[in-house]
Structure 1
Amino acid sequence: MINFTMIPTRILLSCIVLFYCQSGIMAQNVTDNSTTRSDTLHYSSPGEVGLDSILLHVGIDSIINQALDSGAFPGCQILLAKEGKVFYHKSFGYHTYDSLRPVLPTDIYDIASITKIAATTLALMKLYDEGKFDPDQSLGHYFPFLARSNKGHLTMRMILAHQSGLKNWIPYHAESRKKNGRYRRKTIAADSSESYPYRIPGSSLWMHKDYVQKKIYRMIKKSSLYEEQSYVYSGLVFYLLPELVERLSGSSFQDYLSENFYQPLESQTMGFEPLKKFPASRIVPTEIDTFFRMNLLHGVVHDEGAALMLGVSGNAGLFSNAYDLAKVFQLLIDSGSYGGKSYLRPETILEFTRCQYCALDNRRGMGFDKPLIKYDSIKTSVAKLASPESFGHSGYTGTLVWADPDNKLIFVFLANRVYPTRTNRKIYELNIRPRIHDLVYNLIKEEKISE
């Protein structure tokens, strides 16, 4: 019998981590049906990309254990890839705090505002490639009902880069209520009828047949602008963009994305309305809604506005696991190609992911978030060493994806920090995501110094 007390701690830990890593990699490969090629994501080890496996695993474990112990979120998925090699892919914790269902790598998360880039912007990039979308055209050109409004002159570039002066959001469901709490006519009702045929996802409420066009669209049209055109994150027009994609492409928003990206990428879990394809047991719940839908939101979109778009929105509503989301960003840092297939022109990716209004102190690309122009450890969600060319997006539910073409690095973090309530901000207070990102960049930096 081996006496483990006689083995030096560092060597024992190294053996344990190595066994754990290899077991994890094998488990991931079993769940992935895509063909392993040199130009697709494939599993590797930290050592193969020049990183210290022990420092990586021990470092991430320490950060996540602190997050779980403090109740920052019930569980999460983390994926890291470099040069197309997935060198870290691990799940932590549980779906909820009852600790009944552990998070698996195949589980599916509501990725919230990552929808803006992994769905909406992706579709616009393809339409740009096809010569059907011009970011320098006006909002009024693409949406004639807004042409004579106060926002008809705004360009799509300004809107996608959040430099338009648009209000950041409108609480549509709250605006549809009277002072006594009852919903106004032709908005939302407790019972279905011919006039109220649409059930709002995750609720027992029903939506009027004309609510989107005659209420939501009207609220957007009548909304005021900020006095100064400066950076203000706004999702208002993203509610309209799926309709634009459909008009320009001739396909439904979902079909256009599926046929041009998700299906050929074999991103099987990525899509809207996941309960139509997967059992609830594979989907991680988000919030216990106590103010609108009055229910546990499980398998339905968390965002209230996207719920009023019946779960398919350009603002939010996309679901995925970490691996399938990483495929999209691998093609973006590989100049638009993945698995021998070209999806986007390299020039298109550069145009959308570059900083659009840096001179105006706005870091954003078109759709994509970028590193802060002036680093601030309190305000950032990504590493200090992330290159200026890097890009990604965060999601309100606790998600983040970030791609760095300079370092060929992808970081995916999926969590449900809003369970059971959105008031939980510990993921931000503890800087969980940037600390993990910093750890990886510091290991990369150490490797470069040692070379």
Structure 2
Amino acid sequence: MSRRQFVILLFILYGIFETAYSQNTEYKDFNSLSRKADSIITFGILNEAFPGAQVLVAHKGEILFHKTYGYHTYDSLVPVQKNDLYDLASVTKILGTLPLLMKLVEEGRIDLDVPFSHYWKPWEGKKDKKDLTLRQILSHQAGLTPYIVFLNEVMENGTLKKRFVRSSATKRFGLQAYEDLWVRNTFENRVFRKISRSEVKQEKKYLYSGLAFLLYPSLIEQITGHSFTYLHTKEFTFPMEIPSLGYLPSAKGFPNPVVPTEFDSLYRKELVQGWVHDENASLFGGVSGNAGLFGTARDLFRFMQMYQNFGELDGHRYLKEATVKEFTRVQYPDNDNRRGLGFDKPLLDNADQPLSEAYPAPSSSPESFGHSGFTGTFVWADPEYQLVFIFLSNRVYPSRTHRNLYELNIRVALHQLFYEHLINQ
């Protein structure tokens, strides 16, 4: 019997024991809940889905569960701590970029149903893009190309092109991509041009694309006259009292340990820690709309709690209730598209799916919403159940080829566990 088979057998036996035990004990017993969560996470660690993780769950605005597991790496040197900073990857989209777009919409400075080219002028002359609306784009209904690897633009035969990346800062190379990597200031213009020329599917149906999120920070700056990071701090993280949620943690000197992500053998040639994992965000100097945010579990809880409260937190209103409700509703259900505006939503038939096929937990309500991140992060809020679920890991350590987090269904199983705890109370 292989080690993997042995671990799976132990997990099954533990589940059988827990089922028998729960017949004689009320399921709402917190110790039983904790043991089951421990079992799922330990199963993930032993099967190298991630070296460590943490789970924070809040009910009715109060933290119900917050535990850490494992270590930053498989050498078991640095244990996971509750104040660890994680690279949030695509969770950045709904916690970094989207709230600022939401404010512009509710202020009437952007209209969801006006062609995006009205605001982003390079698309005015593009036949396949000039009529696309922000509503279509944010709900992944526009047919945009899913992703472009811009690292290919700056590398040739495994070597960085000096006309785009240098080893030290100069007047023309002021965007810091890594400790000793500086990107040409005008590189983003090359990115914008390539996005403008990218293919658009004629058939308008659900096709996930993060490309437009590379444009939004620049668009927000053009409309407001303020820097993207300044606005994010001023409007959200500072008044929310979550200063550790932000970009470029290596430049801020926070005492929080930063969880490493991947050993990058191609581009940065070492283990990436404290710098954004996503290569496209890196080439924007670490500040991007698609990735780049770092934060703690508590940071994410407070932001998602604000969303769950439809724009209000601790008596302060950050967004209008109507705005949050509009962005978090399914936009194109008749097109078999589950997405909200920027937010991910449950599968349209999620309640009918078995645990192995559901996304997220099958008990999550149709009103719930959230997003996942490539590095192994996941946030979800459910206004109906008043449940906020935060899962943080570095599943890409030491390589992004590690996919057991998905294959073992770790996040969905954990998520469902807490729904069942509430339902059976």
Measure the CA separation in 1 of the matches of 2:263 and 2:195.
Answer: 28
The reply on whether 1:212 has 2:182 as its aligned counterpart is: no
Q: 1:272 to 1:191 in 2, by over 3 A?
A: closer
SS in 1 for 2:264: coil
Q: Decide which moves more: 75-84 or 227-236.
A: 227-236
Is residue 56–residue 390 contact of structure 2 (8 Å, CA) maintained in 1? yes
SS in 1 for 2:67: strand
SS in 2 for 1:136: coil
**Letter of the 1:262 counterpart:** T
Is residue 381–residue 433 contact of structure 1 (8 Å, CA) maintained in 2? no
Q: 1:346 to 1:199 in 2, by over 3 A?
A: closer
Measure the CA separation in 2 of the matches of 1:251 and 1:379.
Answer: 44
Measure the CA separation in 2 of the matches of 1:191 and 1:101.
Answer: 31
The reply on whether 1:340 has 2:318 as its aligned counterpart is: no
Measure the CA separation in 1 of the matches of 2:91 and 2:395.
Answer: 15
Q: Decide which moves more: 433-442 or 123-132.
A: 123-132
Q: What residue is the counterpart of 1:296 in the other structure?
A: 271
Q: 1:72 to 1:315 in 2, by over 3 A?
A: same
Percent identity between the two aligned chains: 43
From 83, 101, 106, the equivalent of 1:129 is 106
Q: What residue is the counterpart of 1:283 in the other structure?
A: 258
Residue 309 of structure 1 deviates from its aligned partner by 0.8
Q: 1:181 to 1:106 in 2, by over 3 A?
A: closer
From 195, 198, 211, the equivalent of 1:236 is 211
SS in 1 for 2:112: coil
Q: What residue is the counterpart of 1:414 in the other structure?
A: 392
From 320, 325, 331, the equivalent of 2:306 is 331
After TM superposition, the structure 1 = structure 2 runs for residues 180-219 of structure 1, keeping only pairs within 5 Å, are 180-183=157-160, 186-189=163-166, 193-201=170-178, 204-213=180-189, 215-219=190-194
Residue 226 of structure 1 deviates from its aligned partner by 2.4
The reply on whether 1:95 has 2:72 as its aligned counterpart is: yes
The reply on whether 1:439 has 2:417 as its aligned counterpart is: yes
After TM superposition, the structure 1 = structure 2 runs for residues 14-29 of structure 1, keeping only pairs within 5 Å, are none
The reply on whether 1:223 has 2:198 as its aligned counterpart is: yes
After TM superposition, the structure 1 = structure 2 runs for residues 228-377 of structure 1, keeping only pairs within 5 Å, are 228-279=203-254, 282-375=257-350, 376=353, 377=355
Measure the CA separation in 2 of the matches of 1:285 and 1:227.
Answer: 40
TM-score, normalised to structure 1, is 0.84
Measure the CA separation in 2 of the matches of 1:355 and 1:415.
Answer: 28
Q: What residue is the counterpart of 1:164 in the other structure?
A: 142
Q: 1:294 to 1:185 in 2, by over 3 A?
A: closer
SS in 1 for 2:239: helix
Q: What residue is the counterpart of 2:369 in the other structure?
A: 391
Residue 190 of structure 1 deviates from its aligned partner by 5.2
From 354, 360, 366, the equivalent of 1:382 is 360
Q: 1:438 to 1:187 in 2, by over 3 A?
A: same
Q: What residue is the counterpart of 1:20 in the other structure?
A: none
Q: 1:82 to 1:191 in 2, by over 3 A?
A: closer
**Letter of the 1:205 counterpart:** L
Q: What residue is the counterpart of 2:86 in the other structure?
A: 109
Measure the CA separation in 1 of the matches of 2:258 and 2:51.
Answer: 14
Q: Decide which moves more: 369-378 or 80-89.
A: 369-378
**Letter of the 2:184 counterpart:** H
Q: 1:423 to 1:280 in 2, by over 3 A?
A: farther
Measure the CA separation in 1 of the matches of 2:172 and 2:241.
Answer: 39
Flag structure 2 segments of 5+ consecutive residues without an equivalent: 1-17, 19-25
The reply on whether 1:64 has 2:41 as its aligned counterpart is: yes
Measure the CA separation in 2 of the matches of 1:378 and 1:235.
Answer: 26
Measure the CA separation in 1 of the matches of 2:105 and 2:209.
Answer: 22
**Letter of the 2:115 counterpart:** S
**Letter of the 2:313 counterpart:** Y
SS in 2 for 1:282: coil
Residue 289 of structure 1 deviates from its aligned partner by 0.6
Residue 188 of structure 1 deviates from its aligned partner by 3.0
SS in 2 for 1:264: coil
Measure the CA separation in 2 of the matches of 1:93 and 1:111.
Answer: 19
Residue 177 of structure 1 deviates from its aligned partner by 3.7
Paired positions, count:
397
Q: 1:227 to 1:128 in 2, by over 3 A?
A: closer
Per-residue Cα deviation, 1:37-66 (whole angstroms, up to 9, x for no partner): xxxxxxxxxx9xx94202210110000110
The reply on whether 1:138 has 2:138 as its aligned counterpart is: no
SS in 1 for 2:66: strand
Per-residue Cα deviation, 1:284-338 (whole angstroms, up to 9, x for no partner): 1101111222221100111110001111100000011011111111111112111
Measure the CA separation in 2 of the matches of 1:445 and 1:170.
Answer: 43
Is residue 146–residue 208 contact of structure 2 (8 Å, CA) maintained in 1? yes
Q: Decide which moves more: 169-178 or 264-273.
A: 169-178
Q: 1:169 to 1:335 in 2, by over 3 A?
A: same
Per-residue Cα deviation, 1:93-133 (whole angstroms, up to 9, x for no partner): 11111111111111110111000001111111122222222
Is residue 381–residue 431 contact of structure 1 (8 Å, CA) maintained in 2? no
Measure the CA separation in 2 of the matches of 1:393 and 1:379.
Answer: 17
SS in 2 for 1:200: strand
Residue 206 of structure 1 deviates from its aligned partner by 3.2
Residue 443 of structure 1 deviates from its aligned partner by 1.8
From 392, 402, 409, the equivalent of 1:424 is 402
TM-score, normalised to structure 2, is 0.89
Q: 1:421 to 1:380 in 2, by over 3 A?
A: farther
Is residue 393–residue 401 contact of structure 1 (8 Å, CA) maintained in 2? yes
The reply on whether 1:404 has 2:404 as its aligned counterpart is: no
